[in-house]
Amino acid sequence: MIDIKLLRENPELVKENIQKKFQNHKLILVDEVIELDKKNREVTLKGDELRASRNSYSSQIGQLMREGKKEQAEEIRKKVQDINQELETNEKLEEEYRTQIKEKMMKIPNIIHESVPIGKDDSQNVEIERFGEPLVPDYPIPFHGEILEKLGGVDFDSARRVAGNGFYYLLGDVARLHSAIITYARDFMIDKGFTYCIPPFMIRSDVVSGVMSFEEMDAMMYKIEGEDLYLIGTSEHSMIGKFKGQILDKKDLPYTMTSYSPCFRKEKGAHGIEERGVYRIHQFEKQEMIVVCEPEDSWKWYDKMWSYTVEFFRSMGIPVRTLECCSGDLADLKAKSCDVEAWSPRQQKYFEVGSCSNLTDAQARRLGIRIKGEKGNYYAHTLNNTVVAPPRMLISILENNYQPDGSVIIPEVLQPYMGGLTKLEPKK
C-alpha cells in the first residue's frame, strides 16, 4: 500500500504507475480516494471542533454549578448532549470514510522502481545474466516424471487416489534427496548469517491481506473452513507477519531470516506436460529467505538475496539465468522483482525456480511494521526470495545429471546429506 500523501500530492504519478502496470481499470480509484480523503479530512476537522466545543462547555458547567447558576448549567448540559449526538454521527462517518479509503488504497499497486522494464506480461521479461554453460547431451533425456518412476522414487497413481491430481508420494533415495536439498539449503543460508526459523503453517486473514493482494489470495490460498485461518502458500507470508504491528529498534536491524515450510497452493488452470509431474503441484516444501531492513539498505539486500540463489544452484553445478520481471508481471505490492531460472537440457530452455522481490514499504504499511527513529517512527522495507523449492530443484538435478544408463549423479555438495551416496540407480 502506497503512502496516501503521495497520492494526495502527486496523483498523476500514481496514475502513470498504474498505466505502466497495464491496470487502467484501477485509474478511477485514484480520483475516488482523493474525493474520499477530502471528505474524511472535513469530518475529522469537524470532529476536532466538536470535541473542543464539548470540552469548553463541560468546563463551564462545573463553574456555573459552583456559582449556583443551575438553570444556565442545565442549558449548557443540553448543548453538550446535542454535541455528543452530532459527534457520534460524525465519528461513524469518519470510520466509514477510513474504511473505504483503505479498501481502495489496498487495490492501488506499489510504485515500481525506475529500472523495471515496461511490459504487459511475463513474455516481456528481460534476461539479465547467465551463470554456467547450458549443455545438451548427445543422448535423449526423458520427462522428469518418467525418470522419477524409473528410479522408484515417485508414486503418482496412489497420490491421485488419496488426494487427487497435483499430489505425489516421494519414495526411497529420491525422497532422501529431496530432504537433502532442504537441509543443505538451510545450512547454506545459516552460513550467510541468516537466522533459521520454522514458522506457523497457517495465518489469519489480517496477515494474508497484509502480505498480498486480494487477487493473489483468491488464486493461491486454501482457507480453513469455519476458522479465520489460511494455509500458507509460501513461508514468507508468516515470516513477514511475525513483525505485524511492531515498532522495531534500529540497532536490531536488519532482520535476516531463512525459513522452512510446507506450502499449499490452488494452482488454478490447465497446464501442459512440462508443468505436470512435480513442477506445478498443490503441496510442496520450500526454503525461503526474508529481510526486514532500513529503507536505504533495501536495494543492497535485494542484490545480495538473488545472488545467494544463483550461488546455491551453481554450487550444485546447475546452469541458471536471472530475468528482470517487467511491470505487467509484477504483483501489486512489488517494486521490483527478478526470477532465477534453471537450465532444462530436456526442453533446451530455462524454467523458473525462484523469485526475489523488494516490496519497499508496501507490506510494512499494510501490517504496521515501523522503525523507531529519532525524529519519529517510519516504515521498514521488506524483501523475500526463494532459496529453493525442492520439487523443481529435483527436476534440474535429474535433467542436468542424467546418465545414458538411466542413473542420476548426485551433486557433490549433497552427498554428505545422502550418507555418502553418489548416484541414484534405476530400479529393475
Write out the DSSP string of 99-126.
Answer: HHHHHHHTTSPPPPPTTSPP-SSGGG-E
**Which pLDDT band, with edges at 50, 70 and 90, does 300 fall under?**
very high
Sheet with strand 230-231: strands edge to edge: 202-203, 230-231, 222-223
Identify the structural domains of the chain with CATH numbers, from first to last: 4-105 (1.10.287.40), 122-424 (3.30.930.10)
Average pLDDT of the residues of the chain: 92
Query: Above 60 in pLDDT, residue 55?
Result: yes
Task: Report pTM.
Answer: 0.89
Phi, psi of 166 (to 5 degrees): 90, 15
Give the total residue count for the chain.
428
Query: Residue 225, exposed/middle/buried by CB under 10 A (0-12, 13-18, 19+)?
Result: exposed
d(CA 236, CA 352): 18
* pLDDT(388) > 80: yes
Kindly report, residue by residue over 301-359, the tens digit of the pLDDT: 999 999 999 999 999 999 999 999 999 999 999 999 999 999 999 999 999 999 999 99
